[in-house]
Amino acid sequence: MRFPKSATEKRKPLSATARRAGWVGCNIVLTNIPDVARVPIIVSGITQRPSDVRRQFRHLRPLADLNVEERGWTLDVLTVVRSLGRTQFVLDDVYAKERELGRLHPDNRHVRDKIRQQLQVLRDKGLVEFSERGNYRLR
């Protein structure tokens, strides 16, 4: 699985004397990888059961079909939803995190529209359910 843009940071270009002069790489910022996109193998020094690791991986597998930019948005919205700390939520709960999502994706001027779109993607991937207009349930 590729990392979302919000989990990478651009490095300085290589110097003019370097073999690949001008090449620009990136660092993976592990703390910016949403918790929902992590599949722990060892927790507090205890190896998790392989069946649990596989189950968690299968749960996230549908997100691999998304392109990198879309996956970043989807994971960021899913992170916001999970940060609410409950399985039932309303659209306004996610809208309350609009500024936070806007900071992660500064090129997007239509954050509310994107939030609604990504909730539909999460629904289509089986991670969120619509219960009625504006009401959702985390699966």
Asked if the model's pLDDT at residue 1 lies above 60, the reply is: no
Q: Give me the amino acid identity at 20.
A: R
Asked whether the predicted pLDDT for residue 56 surpasses 80, the reply is yes
**pLDDT one-digit tens code per residue, 20-50:** 888 888 998 888 777 777 888 999 999 999 9
* Residue whose C-alpha is closest to residue 77's, from 123, 8, 26: 123
Please state the domain extents for the chain. Answer: 5-138
Intra-chain end-to-end CA distance of the chain, in Å:
22
Half-sphere exposure of 124 (CA within 13 A, CB side): 10
Confidence grade of residue 2 (pLDDT, cut at 50, 70, 90): low
pLDDT at position 79 is: 87
Domain 5-138 has CATH 1.10.10.10: yes
